[in-house]
A and B are shown apart, each in its own frame.
With several copies, the nearest count.
Chain A
Amino acid sequence: MEILKLNVLSHKQLAVQTFELVLQKPLHICPKPGQFAMVKVEGKFLKRPLSISDYTEETITFIYKVLGEGTKLLSESKPVEIEVLLPLGSDFERTAGHATLIAGGVGIAPMACLARELAANGATLDIHLGYQTANQVFLADKLSEYGNVTIYTEDGSCGQKGYCLPTEVAPDSVIYGCGPHPMLNAIANQYPNQGWLSTEEYMACGFGICAGCVIKLKSGLKKVCQDGPVFAKEEFEC
């Protein structure tokens, strides 16, 4: 965990309101799938938490959606250098067997490195991706390199119509989920499988000193930034 100013290598739009930001990564920083960074936006007071979408030896990629003022400013300014605190939080424990990835909206971002590493691990992947509408689809092509991708859109404009919840998941498959809270709760309670879910909460610090991100899970109070963002699936079951 380190505070660094990283050069911007590219910063482009992927889909409606969705941007990809690629930074130069120092070699000694070794992120893991599911971890995140606190990203400085000039003009805003607090840093913004963003999942690490993917990385190579020398690059680190974020994918973000314009939601409020901070992400809007980030997308409009074209900084050449960005201050980040990273890598932060827990990661997805990777299986070598069968994996079912279920992600919605910007929750799809961290699936990039997760799918890549799972595949490298020898896992077989079913990947379910949910979007609001066709023009918001991103990462689907890339993810199809690693497994069988099914797309869902709320309005049916692309793939299956409806929420991104597969009707069946193989009993021995490990579930990996990331998306809005209702989606995580649905995943937790709909499938009996083992798995890992990544959640979010408003954050001030991102590294455990403010207690701003604390949520109540089954086993008690947890800091999303430090104990999470990835938690065992049973923590969300009720």
Chain B
Amino acid sequence: MLIAEKLQIITDNSHRLNVNLGSLELKNPVMPASGCCAFGHELNNFYPISELGAIMIKSTTDEARDGNANHRIYETSSGMLNSIGLQNPGVDVVIEQHISWLSSIGATTIVNLAGSDKQSYVNVAKKLETVKEQICAIELNVSCPNVKQGGIQFGTDPEMLKDLINSITAVTTIPVFVKLSPNVTSIKEMALAVEETDAFGISMINTLVGMAIDYKTGKPVIANKIAGYSGPAIKPVALKQIYEVRQVTNKPIIGMGGIESATDIIEFLSVGSDAVAIGTANFNNPTICIDILIDLIAIMDELNIEHINQFKGRAHV
């Protein structure tokens, strides 16, 4: 099937696919995850990314970052490791070259915001606020180490997390989704911390943490040694954590972690997601976000499901 035909099917079924994340309405529940679509230019060569529910662009920091040395990625069983190191051109360039372009082509942009201390996050948030009409939402990447607090990750300490969120929501009116790290003893505790703030919603999960070893040398394959772990292998963990978070919050949840099929999307909606993001699967198939919507419509027909919302939260009833 040609892309044009696929897009037509999606358009024809748009009344069955639209989702609400609280007050935000998206065309459909599918968006590429941060770090897995760069700033959208490449995917837009395959299909118009304005047809997506949204696009979550690469983590953006105050200053440009070079990222980590090579090797940065490695394949594992049903997944991959990455340690890119938040390479990005810095918020000024991102606004000028990417956000404005995304806005001009009609894309729904979610900007992923990262930093190394509270101030650096706040700086980015303030700049994003100046182009707020071009931005649908901010996704707050809290899996960064806080260099001011001995390198503890913001997303692993409830108090530090709340403090960071509060300082962001204080300087911007853009809805903020907090992207939870799965690498914590209690994900509920973190969700409850978010619940006490003005954050708009939650996105989850960020990568697990893993390592790969070259058996010949005995050395880590990834230059940074430790790396983020993504792909189908992390799906069971994602489903479990979203299930638990949905038990303690009514905020909108963008679910992700290993999604590569329409049935995966239905599973993520069932445990409590309101929309989903697709990360690693884009690497294997550049048109996955469109293809998966086509499959989703077919399964909805098969199961006699009129609207995608009917899948939401079924694991909890």
Contact = CB atoms under 8 A, between A and B. Distances in A.
Instruction: Establish whether A and B are touching in the complex (CB under 8 Å).
Output: yes
A205 interface: yes
B75 A210 contact: no
Interface in A133-172: none
B73 A210 contact: yes
B101 to A, nearest CB: 15
Contacts of B287: 3
B38 A214 contact: no
Question: Interface majority SS on A: helix, strand, loop or mixed?
Answer: loop
Interface size of B as a range: 35 or more
Contact of A204 (B38, B45, B77, B82): B82
Nearest to B68: A214
A207 interface: yes
Interface string B27-41: 000000001111001
Interface stretch (A7-15, A40-48, A104-112, A117-125): A40-48
A212 B84 contact: yes
B144 interface: no
B87 A221 contact: yes
Contacts of A205: 282-283, 286
B96 to A, nearest CB: 18
B42 A214 contact: no
Interface in B54-86: 58, 66-67, 70-80, 82, 84
A206 B282 CA distance: 11
Interface string A192-232: 00000000011111111111111110000100001000000
B104 interface: no
B87 A204 contact: no
Contacts of A46: 75, 80, 283-284
Given A3-B287, A202-B72, A209 B38 contact: yes
Interface size of A as a range: 20 to 34
B155 interface: no
A133 B287 CA distance: 39
A210 B36 contact: yes
Nearest to B42: A208
B74 A202 contact: yes
Contact of B77 (A45, A85, A206): A45
Scoring A40, A47, A201, A204 by chain B CB atoms within 10 A of each residue's CB, the highest score goes to A204
A16 interface: no
A235 to B, nearest CB: 15
Contacts of B36: 209-210
A1 interface: yes
Contacts of A40: 284
A40 B284 CA distance: 8
B77 A214 contact: no
B28 to A, nearest CB: 20
Given A46-B75, A46-B283, A212 B67 contact: no
A207 B42 contact: yes
A202 B68 CA distance: 14
A214 B72 contact: yes
8 contacts: A44-B75, A45-B284, A46-B75, A201-B71, A206-B283, A207-B286, A211-B84, A212-B82
Given A1-B46, A221-B66, 7 more contacts: A45-B284, A46-B75, A201-B70, A209-B36, A210-B35, A211-B38, A212-B72
